[in-house]
Every structure is written in structure tokens, then in C-alpha cells.
Amino acid sequence: MNFKTLILCFLAAGIFWLLNALNKPGYTTKINYPIEVIYDDSRYMPVTPLPKTIKVSLSSTGWNLLKDNFSFNASPLLYEVENPDSEKQLSTTVLIEKLSAKLKDSKINYIVADTFALNFERKYIRKITLKVDSLGVDLEKNFVIASLINVTPSELIIEGPASALKEYQDTFYLKIPAKNLAVNFDDQIAIPFPKNPLVKISAERVSVSFEVAELLK
């Protein structure tokens, strides 16, 4: 028997042993399984990130555990939060029940309590009036604002949780960026609104126009 044939025999024997070993029960591993939290997003919103995966301890044959570990396209476990006002964490009992139905060939030993916290708040809508800080307009010497200041839109609609919306005043004053203004102003300006990832704002820019005139000497 030459060396190449010997290597092939050892390789075949190794593969046979591996296949036979993977068919035996008694293996245990931990996997990260995708999860999607379902809730009434028309009335509530999470103020802390929702879990995307849960870590699970499984026992089964080697083949089943390999299959569970490498199921990259596995559909996520759907977890419904029926009462966001009162439910403050994921239920491990519900998770095990749902996972057992999905991973029928494996035994769920336990779920690693990594971060199961839920933190929902009711979603609210507020209107904020937009005005120009007229006293802060930088005008050329002897020039004044000679008309009403038009702001379009004149209101912002903001949407978010109550804890975030209470930080905003009912009126927001805009600054005119022009310096030494001696002509009529008609331009779009950015709204330097305080940024909050939980707050949705209806507009980021507004149109502002007003007339400027020189005082007669």
C-alpha cells in the first residue's frame, strides 16, 4: 500500500468516525437565535433598544446542533407584547415554548438571561410654533425690518415618547444667518432643532422672508 492510499484510508476512517459521532445524542451548545418583538407601533415606541437575538442552550445530536448553529436564514422568533404599559421584560416561559416549537429536534435547556428588558412609552404628537428672533437679525446700520416676517411652515409637528417631548418648548426661535443685512431676505434656513433619535420632526428647513428698509435721515 503506497503512502497516498494510506492517507485516503485514514481520511475515510476519520470521516466515518465523525459522521457516526455526530449521529449520537448528548451534545450541548449555545446558539444565538433571532427574535422580533411585535407591538402596537401606532400607539407605543421602545425608548431602549429591543433585543435582536436571544442566547439559548440546546442539547441534541451533533447533526441537529450543527444545523441549528448554521441556520443563518432561520425565520426570527416572533414575540408579541400585548400590554406595553405593563410588560417590562421578555417571558422566558413564553420564549422556551415558542423555541421548542421551532427547534423540534433539539431540547431547550435554558435561555441565557442576557438582556430581556422592555421599556415602552406611549407615542404622542405635539405642535411647536416657529418664529424668527427678530431682535437678533444682524442689519446694516440705519436699516430696519419693514414687514411681517413670514415663516413657512409656521409650525413643526414632532412625534415621540412623552419623556422626550417634554424637553421641547412650545415656541422655537430661528436665527437669521445673514450678516449686515441691507436687502430683503427670502431664503430657506435650517432648523437647529435639538436632535433626539426618539423624536420624529416634520421638517428640517423652513422658508423665511421679510422686507428691509433704510431709515430716512
- Residue 184 in any domain: the answer is yes
CA 171, CA 76: separation in Å to the nearest integer?
A: 44
Q: Which of 57, 86, 118 is the last residue of a domain?
A: 118
Number of domains in the chain: 2
- Residue 2 in any domain: the answer is no
Q: What is the pLDDT of residue 13?
A: 43
Q: Which of 98, 118, 138 is the last residue of a domain?
A: 118
Q: What is the pLDDT of residue 124?
A: 94
Q: Which of 93, 118, 143 is the last residue of a domain?
A: 118
Phi, psi of 186 (to 5 degrees): -155, 100
Q: Quick one: which of 164, 85, 76, 165 has its CA closest to 118?
A: 85
**Amino acid symbol at 40:** D
The domain of 85 spans 22-118
DSSP string, the chain: --HHHHHHHHHHHHHHHHHHHHTSS-EEEEEEEEEEEE--TTTEEESSPPPSEEEEEEEE-HHHHHHHHT-TTPPPEEEE-S-TTT--B--HHHHHHHHHHH-TTSEEEEEE-S--B--EEEEEEEEEEEEE-GGG--B-TTEEE-SPPEEES-EEEEEEEHHHHTTS-SEEEEPP--SSB-S-EEEEEE--PPP-TT-EES-SEEEEEE-EEEPP-
Whether pTM exceeds 0.85: no
Digit-by-digit pLDDT tens for the chain (217 residues) are 555 554 544 444 444 433 444 444 556 777 788 889 999 999 999 999 998 888 888 776 645 555 545 444 568 889 999 999 999 888 888 888 888 887 776 777 888 876 688 999 999 999 999 999 999 999 999 999 999 999 999 999 999 998 899 888 999 999 999 999 999 999 999 998 888 899 999 999 999 999 999 887 6
CA 211, CA 95: separation in Å to the nearest integer?
A: 65
CA–chain centroid gap for 135, Å, is 40
Asked if residue 210 and residue 152 are part of one domain, the reply reads: yes
- Residue 15 in any domain: the answer is no
156: CATH? 2.170.120.40
Q: Quick one: which of 101, 95, 97, 99 has its CA closest to 81?
A: 95
- Residue 104 in any domain: the answer is yes
Which cell numbers hold the place of 101?
A: 416549537
